[in-house]
Amino acid sequence: MSKLASIVTLAGLITVTPALSQTAVPDLRGTWKGESETIILGTGNAHHGSTSSPAPRLSSVPFTLTIDKQEGRRFSGTLSSSRGTETVIAVISQSGTIYMVDDDGYSLVTMLAPNRLESCYLLQSPTSRVASCTEFTKQP
C-alpha cells in the first residue's frame, strides 16, 4: 500500500472513530428498583437518617426510581424509599455517564445493561457524609 493510501485510510479511521463511540440515547422512562449499599458518617440524609454517630455505619435501603419525563439526554423523575420521596433531574453526557441531582446530593450513574443501571450517590454537609451505590433494575 502506498504512503498516500495509508494516510487516507488512517485519516478516514480517525474521522469515523468519534462517530462510532457515540451511541443512541437510551429511553430511561419507567420504574427502576434496587437496594442501596451505603456507608454514613454523621446524621445521614432523609433516606438513611438516624441519630448521629462518631463512627461510620452501614445501611441498606430499598429504592424506587421513577423516570416520567425524558427529552433527549435530559430527564426527571422521583427517587423514593420508605422514608420519603424527592425529585431528581439528570443529564446524559456524550460519553454515556449520567449526572443526577436530588434535593441534597448528586449521583453518577452508569448503564450496566439496557435494563440495569448503577447509581452512586455522594453527600457532604457540615453534619453528614454519605457514600452509596444502588444497582437498579428496570421493571417490566
- What does the pLDDT look like over 64-107, one tens digit per residue? 999 999 999 999 999 999 999 999 999 999 999 999 999 999 99
Q: Which residues pair with 54 in a beta bridge?
A: none
Q: Which residues have CB under 8 Å from 113's CB, separation 6+?
A: none
Strands (E), the chain: 30-42, 57-59, 62-71, 74-81, 84-92, 98-101, 106-113, 116-125, 128-138
The H or E element spanning position 19 is helix 3-21
CB atoms within 10 A of CB 50: 10
Average pLDDT across the chain, whole number: 86
Q: Model-level pTM? A: 0.80
CB atoms within 10 A of CB 20: 8
Least confident of 9-13, 31-35, 44-48: 9-13
Q: What's the fold here for domain 25-138?
A: Porin (2.40.160)
8 Å CB contact between 91 and 73: yes
Q: Where are the domains of the chain?
A: 25-138
- Who wins on pLDDT, 49 or 95? 95
Task: Please give the pLDDT value at position 53.
Answer: 74
